[in-house]
Chain A
Amino acid sequence: MDLFDKIAGLPGLHEQIVAAGSDPFGVCMDKMCSATEAIIQGRNVVLAGTNNYLGLTFDQDCVDAAHDALDRLGTGTTGSRIANGTYSEHRRLEDDIASFFGFASSMVFPTGYQANLGVISALAGPGDYILLDADCHACIYDGCRMTGATVIRFRHNCPEDLDKRLKRLDSKDTNKLIIVEGLYSMFGDIAPLAEFAEVKRRHKAYLYVDEAHSVGVFGEKGRGVAEHAGVLDDVDFVVGTFSKSLGSIGGFCASDHPKFPFLRFASRPYMFTASLSPSNVASVTTALGRLRSDPGLQETLWRNAHALYDRLSAFGLTLAAPPSPIIAVKIATQEQAVMYWNKLLQAGVYVNLAIPPGTPNSSSLLRCSASAAHTPEQIDWIAEAFGQVAEEMHAYEAQNAGRYLLRQSAE
């Protein structure tokens, strides 16, 4: 018996997946060429598996702002906001985020993961109830585990199911915190936030929305799905990340609640970690400025998303949700998904492989994401590769089915 017994099955599973070619969970970009291209295994590859929705990672203004901050403020803060001080740049970014959402205040965290851990663990405690959408991200689940609150899952994107579960709590005098996401990262489906907001009002609950994938993507001003649904005022806590549309790393939470700023003294993942590095803060501040001043970025993103979606759907591929910048292709089995993924990489396209238990409903997915930085030629390249691989896979499956029939008739 040893410590590693609990993961004893993993080497075998990993070997099984790697046997089909490359390691989908250990891809190394030998060189990043731009927001949408990299060299992988000596090959020029178009990246369709990032979360770089607005394509800002190589934006000249953002890069310049980061350089300038490095020169002026150094490489790191070497400590936590509480113990070692806040830089005025942290505070400015927090003010910018609060004003972007029209809320009174915000807090920033070193990652999006920590933003969810930090806010959920500080907000809820023993005696409170958390109702979370079944398909919420792992960091939301992890945050809930830190609270000591009673945690109840409701069916994904189902306001009726949430309502039913809240009714069971109506007789209890307790705090109820509803947690959902705006745009879900795996299938690319969006939450019915207007309906959730109505349920929230009726049961006098709090509403917490993680807009990690939807900031810069949904809403007239790019504030996410709640803005898109016209219910931003019903959201008590909006959480998000800097590592997707804003092209850096970090996370935030904004709220109108007058006592929200005091979470700084209650949130362990906020207090006991080093603060965001100055260059991160600078590039995010600049990226947020770009997002606010340039609606063309979102338009280009959606044009690319629709173009890719239409092309993939014309090949007869099964897409998991209506068009959005996250386009997930459902593949019948895990084995086929792994083969598909390898063939796409060989054809010069990188997408994300998602397999159970990391996916809802035990599905296997090839997850693509569109970026405002994709050129029409790159969208074409991605689509052509899918078309070619779909044909190869079709032939392979037909051959396999033929073999199966032959074997059956022999038996």
Chain B
Amino acid sequence: MRKMMCVALTGAVTAGLAMSSMAAEVIKIGGIGPTTGPAAIYGSNVQNAMEIAVEEVNAEGGDIQFELQFEDDQHDPETSVNAYNSLKDWGMQILGGTVTTNPCIAVGSEAVSDNMFMLTPSASSQDVISIGDNVFQVCFTDPNQGRASADYISEMELGSKIGIIYNSSDAYSTGILNTFLAEAQEKNLEVVANEAFTDDNSTDLTTQVQACKDAGADLIFLPIYYTPASQILKAANDMGYETKFFGVDGMDGILSVEGFDTSLAEGVMLLTPFVATSTDDLTVAFVKAYQDKTGDIPNQFAADAYDVVKVLYKACTEAGVTADMSASDICEALKAVITSDGFSYDGLTGESMTWDASGAVSKDPRGMVIQDGVYQPMD
């Protein structure tokens, strides 16, 4: 057995060595995200959407052609760095990733030392873009979402006693919570209950809902993804607790959860850049393409990922990027273009999106409310 193991190992090493970069005709885009494990839904949505976008780009038949390679990271920083290294061996020139925040921070510093241009669809923490000047986001930065939500609630006078249920083991959720609390204090919003859960104790969320109910919260802020949110809505309904719910972009997708009773989500408000039921041409075409490919309805991760590829396409075109350029040269060219005054992009997740040197995107969140099982603009 020992011998066999040794042989297997040497084989593995040589297999790794045999891989070498090949002649470039197309620009190689890498993607990283969880396609296995508990967070797999986010990574698979991103992967599918990126594939769709790349097909569209290539079908246009322009000078710029993309080739996409997507690697799984199981939402684990170590595996994510491994995936990044694999992609580098493959010859990746631009990274469209990574999907989740903690892995993105680990990969980000690798990308900084390689000077690899990195545009993440969905790793929304402030800490992601502060790693280096080559890291950009398509999604809102968490602090902006937290602030915008508090402002919105205060302006529209949606609630006077705020309850919060958030995921304390999730970087996205804690990031939004932090600025929400700060801004709520500023705007004199009264936070009566601030309840957390973790990935490990999220089987039962009724206690948190009960705590909000007992504290008399008339609006519950949910800076979390739609899966636990659907559980919270059900728990509140079972308890006969009538309150308003206010979510962030992670809430999108709740209406397309298979088997979910959408009447529970009636009246839920959320700030989101994308809803799959929008009737504009771009969204309709994208949702159709996505459904044709996978049979599912895309969530906001997919929309962000689609925009990642399209932004890269636009930026590459404007910067005159060619396939024979090195990753570092491409990075410099893209950085210059994407932060330039004239550059703006209209996509699924926002119109006239622009970027500044910090790497954060500037776009308007849309306030949405769920009525009769569909999203309606709030104002």
A is bound by B: no
